[in-house]
Amino acid sequence: MEKLTTYNYKNWLNNIKDKVRSAQTKVAVAANKELILFYWDLGENIAEELKKEDWGNKAIEKLSKDLSSEFPDIKGFSVTNLRYMKLFYEYFSSQKITSLIHHHAGDELSREEIKAVQRQFVAVFVAQIPWRHLIEIISKTKDFNEVLFYIKKTTENNWSRDVLALQIKTALYHRIGKSVTNFETTLPAPMSDLAKQTLKDPYIFDFLQLTEDFNERDIEKQMLTHIEKFLLELGKGFAFVGRQYHLQVGNKDNYLDLLFYHTKLKCYIVIELKNTAFEPEYAGKLNYYLSAVDSLVKEETDNPTLGILLCRTKDNIEVEFALRDINKPIGVSQFELTNILPEKLKSSLPTIDEIEKSFK
């Protein structure tokens, strides 16, 4: 038995565990794909039959009742779910999808060939995410490109349904890549595009609990208190390094509001918070901080440090002028807060300890 505690055995065991987990993932993905395709086929059948027959709105209700009676152990035949199947089929077989297929494959395809291509698209791309995630997307977004965006991001980031719902609610599709930057002139082409898509405008910090007279330090503290939600809003790849990060330049002490390392961009990112409208001098100060990080913190293998300046409001033209002659990569975005409590109200609210005591 002593031999079974050796490094070789543990390494072998871990290797087998990885294979089991990989197999479980493949089985889950395969099962989800079959379920999605089954719902696609059933949705097509419902949509086509309701077009041909004059059965009215009660048809789906009766179908739900009959299928549930015949297959009591199978969930998924509720009236709502059957309607979602019909919506699912109609959405991904719409005229816009058909036009895209004709654009890429020509006009010679028959109706059956088009339907086969549509089903293949669903199998390869759409079926990568769970059914409930898919319904969350197509029931709350209308634009086809937006739907594809959320499917792709869900697959890439392995979002839970709650996280996906939050991203849709806060309009991530319309915010990502919208920050005003100088990346095109300060970064090489591949990195500039990726860096721009890493930033958002505005950032939504609705998880922060602040009083009316808050300042930048209050925001920083709250962000770290809710670090998981803060990192979720920043996006995939941000690794926290420090708050009020100390850098000594000459005889002067400098403190960066927030310092991160981005694992995908392979660079440090300095975030400066300003609880005011954008001022051009903010860009100059951040440029100075980036030079300091590049000289004192960055390794030779790291890419140039990026700066993100978060302000309450900004004039995009003013920002563009301010960044025009800045030689370090900087992006400027607004941030929004929704949970700001009046000081009197906050002081009157019970604490967690007081609530717990009331139940004892």
Encode pLDDT of 43-55 as tens digits: 999 999 988 888 8
β-strand pairing of 306-313 with 330-336: parallel
- 327 or 27: which carries more pLDDT confidence? 327
Which pLDDT does position 147 carry in this prediction? 94
Residue 46 CB neighbours (<10 A) = 20
Write out pLDDT tens, residues 69-128. Answer: 999 988 899 999 999 999 999 998 886 777 766 666 666 777 788 888 888 889 989 999
Distance CA 85, CA 326 (A): 53
Give residue-wise pLDDT tens across range 307-342.
999 999 999 999 999 999 999 999 999 998 865 444
Q: What are phi and psi of 327, to 5 degrees?
A: -100, 0
Q: How far apart are CA 35 and CA 130, in angstroms?
A: 9
Instruction: Please name every residue paired with 260 in a beta bridge, in sequence order, or none if there are none.
Output: 240, 269
pLDDT score, position 345: 41
343 pLDDT higher than 70: no
pLDDT value at 346 more than 80: no
- Whether the pLDDT of residue 7 is over 70: the answer is no
DSSP state of 66: H
For residue range 155-190, list pLDDT tens digits in order: 998 899 999 999 999 999 999 999 999 999 999 988
